[in-house]
Amino acid sequence: MASLKDQLGGLVYSTDHGDTCPDCRHPLAECNCAQQAEQARLAELDGIVRIRRETSGRKGKGVTTIEGVPLSATELKALAKALKKRCGTGGAVKEGVVEIQGDHRELLKDELEKRGYRVKLAGG
């Protein structure tokens, strides 16, 4: 038999429409799917940061992508912000990959190496 507290808890959650995680069905405040996905991503990294230029389906010079940076999502956003500022351009972070608009491979390689990362230029 569930305790009164649990029953009340369930009641609160069930009226809390839209605030549960679609993956684990826990209230968002208790959901750690994002952390788990992030830990899985970090566990797969080999310590090498890969910089790539992508032009397919994009206008102009495309974007420079940075993959494999061993940082949490929050730190990655901060890094992306610093790199965007350094390059004087825009960008975004998508699923652990930093995208910087334009072709800034050499500059980004220098910047990341200065920060102590092992960097490889990959692809075209």
Binding site for Zn ion (CB under 5 A): 21, 23-24, 31, 33
Minimum CB distance to Zn ion smaller for 8 or for 24:
24
Q: Least CB distance from residue 87 to Zn ion, whole Å?
A: 35
For helices 105-114 and 73-87, give the axis angle rounded to 10 degrees.
Answer: 130
Give SS3 for 108: helix
To Zn ion, the closest distance from the beta carbon of 28 in angstroms equals: 8
Q: Quote the least distance from Cβ 50 to Zn ion, whole Å.
A: 29
Residue with nearest beta carbon to Zn ion: 21
Single out the residue of 39, 48, 58, 44 nearest to residue 99, CA to CA. Answer: 58
Nearer residue to Zn ion within complex by CB, 26 or 120: 26
Cβ nearer to Zn ion, comparing 22 with 47: 22
Q: What strand order describes the sheet that includes 118-121?
A: 91-94, 97-101, 63-67, 48-54, 118-121
